[in-house]
Chains A and B, each alone.
Chain A
Amino acid sequence: MQKSLHIDPNKCTGCLQCEMACAWENHRSFTIAKSRIKVFTFHKEGRFVPYTCTQCDEAWCMTACPVDAIRLDPVTGAKIVLEPTCVGCKVCTIACPFGTINYVASTGKVQKCDLCDGEPACAKACPTGAITYVDADWTGLGKMRQWAGKTDTNPATV
């Protein structure tokens, strides 16, 4: 059974331990600007929403890449950026309708969540259980993954 990151914003306190863990895992630095998971703050709603790639089935980023720099990890199901191959054209960053693959100016390459080869550092660092790594079926992410195909939603009220 493949696993995915399950995110429960209700539990998140905005401590950003996940962002630091991700930045450390991939850049050997705590600089959260380099994290692949981002906690968005809804100040007026009193809400923190951790957000990263759901490894969506469409993999828009992967198909859009002109030079084959994004590949599927058959074990984890993650779509992985091969840094040496990436030319930094950024077309994937606008192709992904979730906004979860981003350009890193200092490396000249893009980055996205790669599920840390099956041992997500963010989930390990999260002190509240807001991020867990669980069997894909439980995550309800299917809903979110299909979202891109949806049109004419109701207006947002909060």
Chain B
Amino acid sequence: MKHLIIGSGPAGVIAAETLRKADPAAEITLLCGEGEPPYARMAIPYLLKGEIEEAGTHIRKDADHYDRLRIQLVQARAKGIDTARHTVDLGGGRHLPFDRLLIATGSHPSLEKIPGMDLPGVHSCWTLEDARTILAQARPGTRIVQMGAGFVGCIIMEGLLSRGVDLTILVRSGYMVRRMMNPTASGLIRKWCEAKGVKVLTHTQPRGISAKEGALQVDLGEGRTLPADLYLSVVGVDPNLGFLEGSGIEVGHGILVDAAMQTSVPGIYAAGDVAEATDCLTGQRRINAIQPNAVEQGRIAALNMAGKPAQFRGSFVFNVLTTLGLVSSSFGEWQGVPGGESTEVLDESHYRYLSLQFDGDRLVGANCVGFADHVGAFRGLIEGRVRLGVWKQRLLEDPTRIMQAYLAAAHRVA
């Protein structure tokens, strides 16, 4: 059996390893599209901070790891898929055959549709190569204008500031990390950033970027401009689907998959940031572009590829974020659900916030700022759809008793 995996991010690597375990005899090939060993984008912020070397971003640390598992790494990009012939086109006349194929190509940064995005000094922060560029250019005093304050935008700030740069964040909406934080939590994070010396401009969207006297000029409209040495565009990501054209694989936002992570074409699977799977809380399909989701989907896909039926329980949106040292996290339906109940506690001066969302006596979502102990239990409660019973009321009164509630309701130890 020939297994081919396109993409050597976390989804691809976990899939390859799972395949090896499940199918010791199989041939496994892993396509790396960036000329790098398999690495984790998530580690980039720590590379920027100077806490790790490039090798620290590698998903596996032992030099012979892939050889030992007989996983063949191929540095090449997929250009197309021939689903009938069961081959992947690598360009230049090269084709790789497969019996089972996993598409784990992840996503790429969305491109702002404004003039000047091709100027030198305008970058994203998504790949190792991006990181190298930023490391080379960000020095004490470097003026960085960063467009976007989503979770990637927030995570990289610490690395940037640690280099002594002058940082201005532009936010299109009124709120930072608005895809994972409610306005209160988001407001706390903003306040924190500002206290740390970061300028945050909300309701701001550049009209264009121009080069002027060796620096960049960011046009904010209404005659306002910002000078910059480096412009970082981190406004979100889109799945890497380009090479699928003509393959017949059905796509929505991402590649549509079923609970076995199989695409519309039998034998072809997708996992990670590129896949659009069912959300376990809402029942709707969505892309859930986070690391734990990528590895779980990679694992499930691989098991099915190896002929061991496994079901993806549905993706669950959760994330943890550190913004200049302030830890925050977000789980499930943090915005709440119709007819649901909620509770929150805020300690603004100490940057702590906790908000819980309930549907009946089940926890369905949460936002935490500065509350970082045992947060995994939020996942346990939400994903496990645990009936809180009497603990629901207790949590409504004091949401910080979450761990007690978890132990009592999920483990029955009270």
Contacts and interface: CB of A to CB of B under 8 A. Distances in A.
B58 A67 contact: yes
B404 interface: yes
A98 B380 contact: yes
Interface in B282-325: 290-292, 295-296, 299, 313, 318-320, 322
Interface residue tally of chain A, by bracket?
35 or more
Contacts of B40: 66-67
Task: Name the prevailing secondary structure of the A interface residues.
Answer: loop
Given A66-B42, A90-B372, A49 B413 contact: yes
Interface string B83-125: 0000000000000000000000000000000000000000000
Nearest to A154: B387
B413 A9 contact: yes
B376 A99 contact: yes
Contacts of A9: 413
A3 interface: no
Contact of A101 (B376, B385, B386, B406): B376
Contact of B375 (A66, A68, A99): A99
B215 interface: no
B411 A144 contact: yes
Interface residues of B, number: 61
Contact of A103 (B14, B327, B414): B327
A138 interface: no
A97 B379 contact: yes
B295 A157 contact: no
Nearest to A147: B410
A17 interface: no
Interface stretch (B170-178, B200-208, B388-396): B388-396
B67 interface: no
Contacts of B413: 9, 47, 49, 51
A26 interface: no
30 contacts: A9-B413, A47-B413, A47-B414, A49-B414, A60-B292, A63-B292, A66-B42, A66-B59, A67-B57, A68-B60, A87-B43, A87-B46, A89-B43, A89-B45, A93-B376, A94-B292, A94-B376, A96-B376, A96-B379, A99-B373, A100-B376, A102-B373, A147-B384, A148-B384, A152-B387, A155-B389, A155-B390, A157-B389, A158-B390, A158-B414
Interface of B: 10, 14, 40-43, 45-46, 51-52, 56-61, 290-292, 295-296, 299, 313, 318-320, 322, 327, 329, 331, 361, 372-380, 383-391, 403-414
Given A49-B414, A99-B380, A156-B409, 14 more contacts: A38-B374, A49-B413, A51-B413, A63-B296, A66-B43, A67-B40, A67-B52, A93-B372, A94-B319, A98-B377, A99-B374, A99-B377, A154-B389, A158-B408
